[in-house]
Structure 1
Amino acid sequence: MRVALIASARFPINEPFAGGLEAHTWGLARTLTRRGHEVELFAAPGSDPELGARELLVRKTELSSLARADISMPSADWMEEHHAYLGLMLDLAQDGANRFDVVHNNSLHYLPIAMAPALKVPVITTLHTPPTPWLESAIQARDACPVVFTAVSEFTASVWRPCVPRARVVRNGIDTDFWRPGTGGTDLVWSGRLVPEKGPHLAVRAARAAGVPLRLAGPISDEVYFKERVEPLLGEGAQYVGHLDRRGLVDLLGSAAAALVTPRWDEPYGLVVAEALACGTPVCGFDRGALAEILTPDCGLLAPDHDVEALAALIPRAMQLNRAAARRRAEEFCSLDRAADAYTALYEEVAG
């Protein structure tokens, strides 16, 4: 299959990844290419050159001083991202059918959906988040949106159902050959973007209440939040170890007794859960979004949302869960090969 894979224009599809969306896109592109498909990845500058990525080109606009002073003027970053996707979709509308069998939109931008009717090649969009106003409005721009939708979990499909009645569930996956089991340890680990909706400050509080050291890893995507809510809690058994690449994360996750996952939003999937399980590390977290779909009682325990005391009480039990059961769940439920199988079948179906 000839696949146009549309990725983020904000963050490179390269290590260390900005988040789960970028990590999943990277893994999917590599797996499809390894299987013999021709994948052209449209992504932000700085993406992995081994993927053969094409930069989402930004045509610089020379706005007049009056336009820039207008009350409706958005940020420069918004304008650049908008023009990057606009240029790509205009290009695909012109000759995409000659170059591709399918367009797979793996971004969070509204233009690949809104402009899909202009393309003569089928468009698939994966829903990676709960509903947003921009995406909902793009879907409703026509009476019958021609896009085929997938969702990364049953939960995500359910919250989109009023707007997208028939989103197929294709769960994100990880390379279980790379994310290998570790020997475990005595500490806890937390990984992900350090932002309010991921709740790392709650993980520190829970670990401290349980009396177990915690190591945190990930990009500081919200510096104000990190300085005000996370950094003051560090020390006394809580350590930030930096933004690690995948190899560093494998070592970190595999050397932990359990992984804490503390979402303060409805987690659409939770790639960090799959990564921890693949390393043989049980999970302890809040019951938000799709986490309950991934975890079973023999590999993870969930506390009520935002209940730090309940989470702390579960930590000792989670640390005793069977590491082999965690690894087995990752192999059976979180495999990237499963996701690639499902997407390949869907590509073939929509391309006829």
Structure 2
Amino acid sequence: MLVPPWLSVPPPGYGGLEQVVHGLVDRLVGHGHAVTLFGAGRQHGTAGDFFSTVGELQYDRLGESLPELAHLARVKHVISAADFDVIHDHTTIGPLVAGRRAVPTVATVHGNPVGEYGDVLSDTDHGVGLVAISHAQRRANPGLPWVGTVYNALDSRDVPRKREPGHGPVLWLARFSPDKGPDLAIRACRAAGLPLTLAGKCNEPAERRYFAEAVQPMLDEDVNVVMNADREAILRLLVDARCLIMPIQWEEPFGMVMVEAMATGTPVVALRRGSVPELVLDGVTGLVRDRPEELPAALREVVRLDPAACVAHVDEHFSTERMALGYEAVYRSFALGAVTVAREPLPLSVR
């Protein structure tokens, strides 16, 4: 199991990828598999073995290419076919270099597979299989060498659950980015006459710049800001919240925060983009709307939804057990050569 060198597994706060990998490793070990996690830093919290390629987490260099490339190069030198049946790669650049490995590689695509990232993925070696985390993500670029679709999952055993609708503020929980729509969340809550908590990741230069230029001028007493909350604080915010608001402005490939919210019994109010309709049962675990103008009414209406229905939905569809079984099927079929990695021809446009 190969993760980027930025964060520990599990992460102390923000880090959906690392949270997913934590649950997956523990469940696979519980199924009797021998799993080695390749990452960075000096510690981890999984049930698997751990191999660190560098003593310090490389979070301060997030956005640079060399730390991840060096991480991948070091992994390649220590992996042999005698020791491993399959590599599961969660890095960004990994699919581009995985064809040089002596062990079959499946790679989960955690981002939106279009634009520059799509160009990188389109050059994936034919011996590498890509796994989508939603059908919406896969439809965004059907010409890639997909070998399966497996939903991300949450180990909800330690997640607090509420028994009745939350009476706290509406919660927006994401990184500060125009794609995540914090400005729309402020406008929707003001129109609904409801308080809002913006709990945002804000430690990269682009995030700090966006917050200062676009979000901060909109703030008033009706908006509480929580910066870079740890895991415990995030769970408290989710349990107390009236609902989670997701006014996303991009084709979200999954949106782990929606699963986390529903696992606590907190419904989701979201715009219909990307994977949202796959994750949220409209009218049962949340309210999905087409236009920002529809969000204020949904925020007022959402308290009628049953928290128990949100929890049951996560337990049934987004459990680590279900995720592990999905990946086991991909591992077996791909490692045994039963999957044909086929590309659909990409349209050629000459300008």
Cα distance in 2, alignment partners of residues 274 and 206 from structure 1: 22
Q: 1:303 to 1:140 in 2, by over 3 A?
A: closer
CA contact (8 A) 1:207 1:214 kept: yes
**3-state SS in 1 of match to 2:137:** helix
Cα shift readout 1:155-178 (whole Å, capped 9, x = no counterpart): 0111121233x4411000011222
Q: What is the one-letter code of the residue matched to 1:299?
A: T
Q: Which residue of 2 aligns with 1:79?
A: 66
| Residue 286 of structure 1, CA deviation | 1.1
Aligned residues between the structures = 323
CA distance in 1, matches of 2:200, 2:313: 24
Q: Which residue is 1:147 aligned to?
A: 128
What's the counterpart of residue 127 of structure 1? 109
Whole-angstrom CA distance in 2 between matches of 1:186 and 1:138: 43
CA contact (8 A) 1:179 1:278 kept: yes
Asked if 1:263 corresponds to 2:248, the answer is yes
2:178 corresponding residue in structure 1: 196
Aligned Cα root-mean-square deviation (Å) = 2.5
In the TM superposition, 1:294-309 aligns within 5 A as 294-297=279-282, 298-304=284-290, 307-309=291-293
Asked if structure 2 preserves the Cα contact closer than 8 Å seen for 1:14 and 1:47, the reply is: no
In the alignment, what sits opposite 2:140?
A: 159
DSSP 3-state at the match of 2:187: helix
- In the alignment, structure 1 residue 342 sits paired with structure 2 residue 326: yes
Partner in structure 2 of residue 170 of structure 1: 150
Q: Which amino acid aligns with 1:179?
A: V
**How far apart, in 2, do the equivalents of 1:210 and 1:293 lie?**
26
SS in structure 1 at match of 2:23? helix
Question: Quick one: distance in 2 between partners of 1:328 and 1:280?
Answer: 9
- The unaligned stretches of length 5 or more in structure 2 are 56-61, 337-351
Amino acid across the alignment from 2:97: M
In the superposition, relative to structure 1, how do residues 266 and 83 fare at CA in structure 2: closer, same or farther (>3 Å)?
A: same
Query: Helix, strand or coil: the match of 1:285?
Result: strand
What corresponds to 1:63 in structure 2? none
Do the aligned residues in 2 keep the contact of 1:303 with 1:311 (CA within 8 Å)?
A: yes
Equivalent of residue 180 in structure 1, options 132, 148, 160: 160
**1:251: Cα distance to partner?**
2.0
Q: Please, which runs of 5 or more residues in structure 1 have no aligned partner?
A: 59-74
Q: Specify the alignment match of 2:4 in structure 1.
A: 8
**Range moving further from structure 2, 11-20 or 263-272:** 11-20
Shift of 1:271: 0.5
Distance 1:199 1:186 in 2: 21
In structure 2, the residue matched to 1:317 is 301
Q: Report deviation, 1:340.
A: 1.1
Runs of 4+ displaced beyond 6 Å? none
* AA of the residue aligned to 1:153: S
Aligned twin of 1:31: 27
Asked if the contact 1:113/1:135 (under 8 Å) is kept, the reply is no
Shift of 1:116: 2.5
Check the 8 A contact 1:182/1:253 in 2, yes or no: no
The equivalent of 1:233 in structure 2 is 218
Identity of aligned residues (%): 30
